[in-house]
């Protein structure tokens, strides 16, 4: 079961990373990828790799992903609401979203290659995969 579960985790995470990469690339093709926003992708890749690594190893890491995602959503909402109320500024930084998506996909892929191909998937993540599979059967 371990080899099968490991293979399932690796395939699924790399598929999600590839889909997010394609979506980010396609959404950026229309805006021409403004190069002044490149740093967003680097930060997103690093944060995503660290958070996914933490999530693989503990339940607290899973909560950290949810917390960071919630804060990011609130920040985007707040920036949009503040612009609407003040009537000034750029609004939600949509030019950075393709870089964010590409960075997140790179972070996901790096984490799964490091801990799934090069090194084994953590036992916590495999247990979560096993428990999730048993709930669906």
In a domain, 84, yes or no: yes
In a domain, 107, yes or no: yes
1-27 tens-digit pLDDT:
578 878 888 999 999 999 999 998 888
What is residue 123's predicted lDDT score, i.e. its pLDDT?
87
In a domain, 121, yes or no: yes
Prediction pTM value: 0.79
* The total number of structural domains that make up the chain: 1
Task: Residue 96: give the domain boundaries.
Answer: 2-129
In a domain, 32, yes or no: yes
What is residue 91's predicted lDDT score, i.e. its pLDDT?
59
Minimal CA–CA distance to 110: which of 42, 48, 37? 48
Q: Express the helix, strand and coil content of the chain in percent, nearest 5 each.
A: 85, 0, 15
- Residues in a beta bridge with 119: 115
In a domain, 47, yes or no: yes
Q: What is the pLDDT along the chain (137 residues), one digit of tens a residue?
A: 578 878 888 999 999 999 999 998 888 777 676 777 788 889 989 999 998 888 888 888 888 888 988 888 787 777 666 555 555 556 566 777 888 899 999 999 999 999 989 998 888 888 887 777 544 44
Give me 78's structure tokens: 């707040």
In a domain, 135, yes or no: no
- Residues in a beta bridge with 115: 119
What is residue 82's predicted lDDT score, i.e. its pLDDT?
56
In a domain, 137, yes or no: no
In a domain, 136, yes or no: no
């Amino acid at each position: 079961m371990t080899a099968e579960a490991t293979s399932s985790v690796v395939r699924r995470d790399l598929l999600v990373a590839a889909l997010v990469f394609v979506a980010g690339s396609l959404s950026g093709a229309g805006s021409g990828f403004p190069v002044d926003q490149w740093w967003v992708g680097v930060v997103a890749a690093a944060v995503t790799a660290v958070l996914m690594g933490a999530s693989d190893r503990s339940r607290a890491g899973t909560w950290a992903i949810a917390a960071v995602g919630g804060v990011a959503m609130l920040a985007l909402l707040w920036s949009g609401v503040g612009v609407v109320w003040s009537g000034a500024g750029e609004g939600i930084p949509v030019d950075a979203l393709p870089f964010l998506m590409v960075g997140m996909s790179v972070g996901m892929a790096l984490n799964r290659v490091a801990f799934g191909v090069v090194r084994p998937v953590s036992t916590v993540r495999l247990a979560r995969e096993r428990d999730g599979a048993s709930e669906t059967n």
